[in-house]
Amino acid sequence: MSASNKWRAMSHHQHQPLCTRTHQIGALLLVATTFFFTRMLSTSTLSTSVVHVSQPRFQWGQSQLSLKIYVYQEDEIDGLKELLRGRDAKITDEACLKGQWGSQVKIHKLLLQSKQRTWKKEEADLFFVPSYVKCARMMGGLNDKEINSTYVKVISQMPYFRLSGGRNHIFVFPSGAGAHLFKSWATYINRSIILTPEGDRTDKRDTSAFNTWKDIIIPGNIDDGMTKTGDTTVQPLPLSKRKYLANYLGRAQGKAGRLKLIELSKQFPEKLECPDLKFSGPDKLGRKEYFEHLRNSKFCLAPRGESSWTLRFYESFFVECVPVILSDQIELPFQNVIDYSQISIKWPSSQIGPELLQYLESIPDEEIEKIIARGRQVRCWWVYASDSESCSAMRGIMWELQRKVRQFHHSAETFWLHNGSIVNRNLVEFPKWELPVPLP
């Protein structure tokens, strides 16, 4: 350093103000004030967290539902009856209500009774297209080719579908296949609202039909005998009387996570129950026996199968068994109002092994009871009851639909004139559009 630079450094040091007693007192006051406000904010945050855990809020908004939904009638459109009853019209509502795909029937029936239903297409916010195709396919009423061609025929007779490009039309696909059940979904209903329990279906396909922006995850269809009030098919057991730490009730289906659980149950048969379930024949497990097995553990394991969702997740709430999700890509219903971290456990599917059982075993019964109690508060959202109920799957779906209503419904194939008239490419006004309507 040069002499001149040294002199400037020394001069600067000599002119620094001394640390007086006043400075020391001020510094102490600053530290005390900072500490006080930090503690206050920390306490406020902690208090908010505790309230959230013990008193979760399940509200979509303070206002009332104001939706108007038009439900297409099965005799209104050529082909729609086939999507409901099959080619020979032999599929019945009663047959389709059973099993995990019954939500397609329940949603349709409940919408027919809803106060949100309108009989006037011109005032509708949304249009519901009823279909029981998964049931019809399972029962031999329609094959894949027939499902595809019938859907195309049906929507070509819906002028309001063409007007919006399908944006305000609702379709239900209640199985793991999701909208892929309609082979040409990506061409015709890729803008429509899809109700499905399946948020991920990429294991056998290049793309998922679920879009978080427009589609809605719905609960699976639980056996009515378990969701009714009062005397259910099977009652929960006290924790002290449950034989197992955890269980998995399902088929292996060659899936890695399920195979790991079955092997794990062989290593720890006293902790983990994985019975060899028969879904047909004389050894088939009845519904009551199934729920009796399910209730006999503290934790119900829900691994991924052919797709990411599983009905066991929802069923576990009604035997008061803590669900443990072992499906990394799962999407759950009504996640914007329900905090699933307070009512379930999600564990990495790559960590299925003894460490999972050790972790579950470390959780005290008092904590398990708290999780079960919080789950008891929210399980009404899995029950397919009227949307006039304060807590039901349909009410949740209606609030989600109201959030999904878009202010701009016109498609690339609709045009308008200075007086507000809606026309097509040939300048034909909307009320005069002829059927079938050209599709995208």
Q: Three-state SS string across 296-340, please?
A: CEEEEEEECCCCCCCHHHHHHCCCCCEEEEECCCCCCCCCCCCCH
Higher pLDDT, 306 or 267: 267
Least confident of 2-16, 228-242, 250-264: 2-16
Q: What is the pLDDT of residue 336?
A: 87
**pLDDT tens digits, 302-360:** 998 877 888 999 999 999 999 999 999 899 999 989 999 999 999 999 999 999 999 99
Are the C-beta atoms of residues 219 and 391 closer than 8 Å to each other? no
- CA-nearest of 385, 433, 401 to 71 is 401
**pLDDT tens digits, 127-170:** 999 999 999 999 999 999 999 999 999 999 999 999 999 999 99
Tokens of 36: 């006080």
Coil/strand/helix, residue 432: helix
Amino acid identity, position 264 = L
**pLDDT tens digits, 374-433:** 999 999 999 999 999 999 999 999 999 999 998 777 888 899 999 999 999 999 999 999
Domains parsed from the chain with CATH numbers:
69-221+403-432 (no CATH), 224-380 (3.40.50.2000)
DSSP per-residue letters across 242-310? --EEEE--S--TT-HHHHHHHHHHHH-TTTEE-----SSSTTPPPHHHHHHHHTTEEEEEEE--SSS--
- The H-or-E segment that residue 241 falls in is none
Distance CA 434, CA 440 (A): 16
Q: What are phi and psi of 288, to 5 degrees?
A: -65, -45
Q: Is the pLDDT of residue 267 over 80?
A: yes
